[in-house]
Structure 1
Amino acid sequence: MYRIDSEWLEDFDEAMLGFFAIDHADAGMDQFLLECYADLPAREAALAFGEDYELCRVDTFWPPQGLALSS
């Protein structure tokens, strides 16, 4: 059994929240399903999961998470 790295999971949840406004728990992901995506970088894993399960992107928030706007 593969252990999910806590830092990866935190980054994955952050990406999921930014792209789809849900985290892995909201998506119903169990240990097995997380392990299916854990070999990818967290951001790519979130996008791959969203594509595999046809999640709707949340592009209505501005600015996107992590984007710092300069004055």
Structure 2
Amino acid sequence: MNRIDSEWLQAFDDAMLSFFAIDHADAGMDQTDLGRYSDLPARDAALAFGHDYELCRVDTFWPLQDSP
């Protein structure tokens, strides 16, 4: 089993939170699940996971507003 890099995991969780308002623990991901996505950059991995599991993006119902 691959050991998940802590920096990658933090970046993955940050991306998951920004896209889906959950982190890997909330999503129920274990080391095996994380290993399936760990070869991708963290942002891409989060989007791929969301796509694979049909997660609803945070900005689907509340679009991001441009800062003034």
Normalization by structure 2: what TM-score?
A: 0.89
Secondary structure in 1 aligned to 2:58?
coil
In structure 1, the residue matched to 2:45 is 45
**Unaligned stretches of 5+ residues in structure 1:** none
Higher helix fraction (1 or 2) = 2
* 1:24-63 alignment runs, 5 A limit: 24-59=24-59, 60=62, 62-63=64-65
Q: Cα RMSD (Å) of the superposition?
A: 1.6
User: Where in structure 2 are there 5+ consecutive unaligned residues?
Assistant: none
Q: Distance in 1 between matches of 2:55 and 2:4?
A: 23
Q: Tell me how far 1:10 sits from its aligned partner.
A: 0.1
Deviations, residues 14-69 of structure 1 (Å, cap 9, x unaligned) = 00000000000000000000000000000000000000000000012645xxx9x4
Aligned letter for 2:32? Answer: F
Q: Distance in 1 between matches of 2:25 and 2:19?
A: 15
TM-score (norm 1): 0.85
Distance 1:3 1:61 in 2: 36
User: How many Å separate the matches in 2 of 1:62 and 1:54?
Assistant: 20
SS in 2 for 1:35: helix
